[in-house]
Chains A and B, each alone.
Chain A
Amino acid sequence: MIERTKILLLVAVLASAAISLFAGQINPYYYDILISIGINIILATSLNLVNGYTGQFSLGHAGFMAAGAYGSAWLSLAFGYVLGTSAAGTTTMFVLALTTGGLIAALAGLAVGIPSLRLRGDYLAIVTLGFNEIIKGVIQNAEPLGAQRGLGGMGQHTNFFWTFALAALTVYVVLNLVHSTYGSGFLAVRDDEIAAEAMGINTTKYKVLAFVIGAFFAGVAGGLYAHFKQFIHPEGFNFLRSVDIVVMVILGGMGSTAGVILAAILLTILPEGLRALAHQPWLPDSLRPIAENRMILYSLLLIILMITRPQGLFGGPGLKRRKA
Chain B
Amino acid sequence: MSAPLLHLENATMQFGGLKCVSDLSFAVGTGELIGLIGPNGAGKTTVFNLITGVYRPTLGNITFAGKSVVGHRPYRITSRGIARTFQNIRLFGSLSVFENVRTACNMHLRHGISHALMRGPKFAAENRETECFVDELLTIFGLTAARDEPCRNLPYGDQRRLEIVRALATRPKLLLLDEPAAGMNPTEKNELMKLIRFTQEKFGLAVLLVEHDMKVVMGICQRIIVLDYGRKIAEGTPAQIRSDPKVIAAYLGKEAA
Contacts and interface: CB of A to CB of B under 8 A. Distances in A.
Contacts of B109: 181-182
B106 interface: yes
* Chain B CB within 10 A, most for which of A6, A181, A194, A209: A181
Contacts of A198: 52, 74-75, 78, 83-84, 86, 90, 167
- What band does the interface of chain A fall in when counting residues whose beta carbon is under 8 Å from B? 20 to 34
Contacts of B90: 192, 194-195, 198
Contacts of A12: none
Given A176-B119, A182-B116, A197 B73 contact: yes
Interface in B78-113: 78-79, 83-84, 86, 90-95, 99, 102-107, 109, 111-113
Contacts of B102: 181, 184
Contact of A201 (B54, B83, B107): B107
A219 to B, nearest CB: 18
A200 B115 contact: no
B124 A2 contact: yes
A187 B94 CA distance: 8
Interface string B32-75: 00000000000000000000111000000000000000000111
Nearest to B134: A181
B1 interface: no
Nearest to A321: B93
A183 interface: yes
Contact of B103 (A173, A185, A202, A318): A185
A176 B117 contact: yes
B166 A199 contact: yes
Interface string B125-157: 011001000000000000000000000000000
Contacts of A317: 94
B113 A182 contact: yes
B78 A182 contact: no
Contact of B94 (A180, A209, A255): A255
B12 interface: no
Contact of B75 (A187, A202, A318): A202
Contact of A199 (B78, B93, B111, B124): B78
Interface string A186-206: 011011101111111111100
Interface string A160-192: 000000000000010011001111110110111
Given A198-B83, A255-B94, A203 B106 contact: no
Contacts of A182: 106, 109, 111-113, 115-116
Contacts of B167: 198-199
Nearest to B53: A197
A318 B119 CA distance: 28
19 contacts: A173-B117, A180-B123, A180-B127, A181-B116, A182-B115, A183-B116, A184-B106, A187-B95, A188-B95, A192-B90, A194-B54, A194-B90, A197-B53, A198-B52, A198-B74, A198-B84, A201-B103, A202-B73, A318-B94
